[in-house]
């Protein structure tokens, strides 16, 4: 597993235009980032540790923030569309909270999103005919204007993460 994160992110908007399906089968495009602040994570459902840990932490952020974070959205984009169908992503994200929306799509559409966000995602054969994925382990903080405002590296303590979410995304 590769641990990649940026301490000083490239803030701003992303140029990736995409057409995906959310975990409920609804169409989605790049416009979903506008209007409300969001936590954005790229991962896959077969991930053994980092992805379930991060989604569990996201669910905890929503719970701890309560009404203060009522407008905050959570987004999970699969980096493994070959295995992560809409139904699989639905079962995965809803196991954590109803506040996270999962997305999947055709491999070429998912690649547009991954490349547009400058996320590392690489298939790694496991020797038994299967594979795992090396990927960026960063939670992206996106403002209501659809622009990247900051990141939370994997392993950030909960209090520090909540402080950064509050000051970066929820301050009035």
Q: What is the pLDDT of residues 64-103, one digit of tens each?
A: 999 999 999 999 999 999 999 999 999 999 999 999 999 9
The model carries a pTM of 0.91
Q: Is 130 exposed, middle or buried (0-12, 13-18, 19+ CB in 10 A)?
A: exposed
SS3 content of the chain, % helix, strand, coil (to 5): 35, 30, 40
CA gap 108, 165 in Å, rounded: 31
**pLDDT classification of 13: cutoffs 50, 70, 90:** low
Residue bearing the bigger pLDDT, 8 or 165: 165
Give dist(CA 8, CA 69) in Å, integer: 24
What was the pLDDT predicted at 2?
40
CA proximity to 139, closest of 4, 34, 22:
4
For residues 50 and 87, give the distance between their C-alpha atoms in angstroms, rounded to a whole number: 21
- Averaged pLDDT, 24-45: 96
Predicted local confidence at residue 17, as pLDDT: 85
Domains, the chain, with CATH or none: 40-170 (3.40.30.10)
On whether the CB atoms of residues 172 and 144 are closer than 8 A, the answer is no
Percent of the chain with pLDDT over 70: 91
């Amino acid at each position: 597993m590769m641990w990649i994160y940026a301490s000083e992110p490239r803030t701003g908007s992303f140029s990736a235009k995409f057409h995906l399906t959310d975990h409920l089968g609804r169409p989605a495009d790049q416009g979903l980032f506008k209007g409300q602040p969001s936590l954005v994570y790229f991962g896959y459902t077969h991930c053994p540790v980092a992805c379930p840990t991060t989604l569990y932490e996201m669910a905890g952020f929503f719970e701890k923030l309560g009404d203060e974070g009522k407008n905050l959205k959570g987004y999970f984009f699969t980096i493994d569309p070959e295995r992560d169908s809409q139904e699989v992503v639905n079962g995965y994200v809803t196991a954590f909270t109803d506040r996270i929306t999962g997305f999947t799509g055709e491999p070429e559409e998912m690649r547009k999103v991954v490349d547009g966000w400058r996320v590392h995602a690489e298939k790694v054969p496991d020797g038994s005919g299967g594979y795992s994925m090396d990927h960026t382990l960063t939670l992206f903080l996106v403002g209501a204007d659809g622009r990247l405002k900051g990141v939370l590296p994997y392993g950030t303590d909960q209090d520090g993460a909540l402080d950064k979410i509050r000051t970066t995304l929820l301050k009035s």
